[in-house]
């Protein structure tokens, strides 16, 4: 059965996919050996069975086995002076090029490393500087089908969604931006591309809504759908993830009785109640901002995308390639 992963404080909580209400996690990764602190974002690599985590205030990225639990050390970390990491937020796994792309909040930069890097090392590419317009980049999305990188900017300066070429580096300007006007972009936290429906989905922290735009929207383009209102229970929405069932999982930056991870149906906009809600003391949730699922939707994987390299739901040891991407044999 597939799992839902939630980053919450100094823990990674692992639930069954259909858990709801005051469910107890089936596994918890936490303890001194983990080095976890203020986990804010997660990414999954189901091919190599790894969980990636970044935390508030940590100049480090930690990678754990998807099969581990308890007080375990990471299988590797990316950290050190040469990395340029100060406060990593977005973790975008590129399984096609064997890279990880990291948005770094404090340094206003996007850094690319080999996926297997362990310890210190210079990035393969660095995207920063005035021409990029990056200010407090948060949880982006990598669309390998169109070879584009989506980066949301923090509210403090120039709130917008900027779209770059995947290989953009220092001095490169965005291909397009979504900002101002009717776009209602205010304080975006996370972006998600729905490849099937050609949509850009954005979580808005201050407005407590999740909005959908045409994927290639630019300028002041207005959203075409919105989830928001009292029934949604949305409060300070953060990371987004999608599942094969059409559900949108939303992490929230909330504590206490309000702490919850929500499961919404993105095709039903408006003030709609979530299908499932994880909340309650037994869940151990506290500021559950980071969410991920190993039940991928349409080859698109929360905040890390494989560009449709794999056709099914990423079962262990199942490497069924799309022929038009890899040149291999088509899947049955």
Could you read off the pLDDT tens digit of each residue along the chain, which spans 332 residues? 468 999 999 999 999 988 999 999 999 999 999 999 999 999 988 778 899 999 887 899 999 999 889 999 999 999 999 999 999 999 998 887 889 999 999 999 999 999 999 999 999 999 999 999 999 999 999 988 788 999 999 877 779 999 999 999 988 999 999 999 999 999 999 999 887 778 899 999 999 999 999 999 999 999 999 999 999 999 999 999 887 777 889 999 999 888 999 988 666 789 999 999 999 999 999 999 999 988 754 444 433 344 333 333 333 333 333 323 333 344 33
pTM across the whole model: 0.89
Let me know how many helices (H) and strands (E) the chain has, helices first. 1, 26
Angle at 193 between CA 46 and CA 160, to 5 degrees: 125
Maximum C-alpha span of the chain: 51
Beta bridge partners, 25, equal: none
pLDDT number for residue 2? 66
pLDDT number for residue 315? 35
Distance from C-alpha of 305 to C-alpha of 192, rounded to nearest angstrom: 9
pLDDT number for residue 300? 41
**Rg for the chain, CA atoms, rounded:** 18
pLDDT number for residue 311? 34
pLDDT number for residue 257? 85
Task: Tell the residue number behind the tokens 């100060």, with chain if given.
Answer: 86
Any residues with CB less than 8 A from the CB of 315 and at least 6 apart, and which?
A: none
Number of Cβ within a 10 Å radius of residue 57: 11
pLDDT number for residue 324? 32
Token representation of residue 32 = 């001194």
Instruction: Supply φ then ψ for residue 265, to 5 degrees.
Output: -100, 110
pLDDT number for residue 145? 79
Token representation of residue 145 = 């089908």
Is residue 252 classed as helix, strand or coil in its secondary structure?
A: strand
Number of Cβ within a 10 Å radius of residue 306: 23
Query: Regarding beta strands 60-65 and 76-79, do their DSSP bridges make them parallel or antiparallel, or are they unpaired?
Result: antiparallel
pLDDT number for residue 305? 40
How distant, in Å, are the alpha carbons of 96, 305, 323 from that of 326? 9, 16, 5
Per-residue pLDDT tens over the stretch 247-258: 889 999 999 888
Ramachandran quadrant class, 32 (left: phi over 0; alpha: psi -120 to 50; beta: rest): alpha
pLDDT number for residue 296? 56
């Amino acid at each position: 059965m597939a799992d839902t992963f939630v980053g919450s404080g100094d823990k990674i909580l692992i639930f069954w996919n259909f858990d709801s209400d005051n469910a107890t996690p089936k596994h918890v990764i936490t303890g001194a050996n983990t080095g976890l602190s203020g986990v804010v974002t997660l990414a999954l690599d189901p091919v190599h069975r790894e969980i990636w985590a970044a935390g508030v205030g940590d100049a480090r990225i930690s990678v754990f086995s998807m099969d581990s639990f308890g007080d375990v050390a990471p299988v590797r970390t990316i950290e050190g002076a040469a990395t340029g990491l100060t406060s990593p937020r977005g973790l975008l796994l590129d399984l096609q090029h064997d890279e990880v792309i990291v948005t770094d909040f404090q340094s206003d930069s996007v850094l690319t490393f080999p996926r297997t890097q362990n310890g210190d090392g210079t990035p393969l590419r660095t995207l920063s500087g005035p021409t990029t317009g990056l200010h407090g980049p948060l949880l982006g999305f990598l669309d390998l089908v169109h070879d584009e990188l989506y980066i949301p900017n923090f509210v403090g300066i120039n709130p917008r969604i900027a779209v770059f070429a995947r290989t953009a580096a220092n001095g490169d300007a965005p291909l397009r931006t979504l900002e101002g006007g009717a776009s209602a972009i205010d304080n975006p936290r996370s972006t998600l591309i729905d490849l099937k429906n050609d949509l850009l989905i954005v979580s808005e922290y201050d407005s407590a809504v999740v909005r959908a735009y045409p994927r290639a929207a630019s300028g002041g383009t207005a959203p075409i759908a919105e989830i928001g209102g009292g029934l949604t229970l949305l409060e300070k929405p953060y990371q987004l993830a999608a599942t094969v069932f059409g559900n949108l999982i939303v992490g929230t930056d909330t504590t206490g009785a309000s702490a919850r991870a929500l499961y919404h149906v993105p095709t039903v906009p408006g003030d709609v109640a979530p299908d499932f809600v994880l909340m309650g003391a037994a869940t151990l949730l506290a500021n559950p901002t980071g969410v991920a699922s190993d039940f991928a939707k349409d080859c698109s994987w929360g905040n890390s995308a494989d560009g449709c390299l794999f056709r099914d739901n990423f079962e262990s040891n199942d490497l069924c390639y799309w022929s038009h991407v890899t040149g291999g044999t088509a899947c049955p």
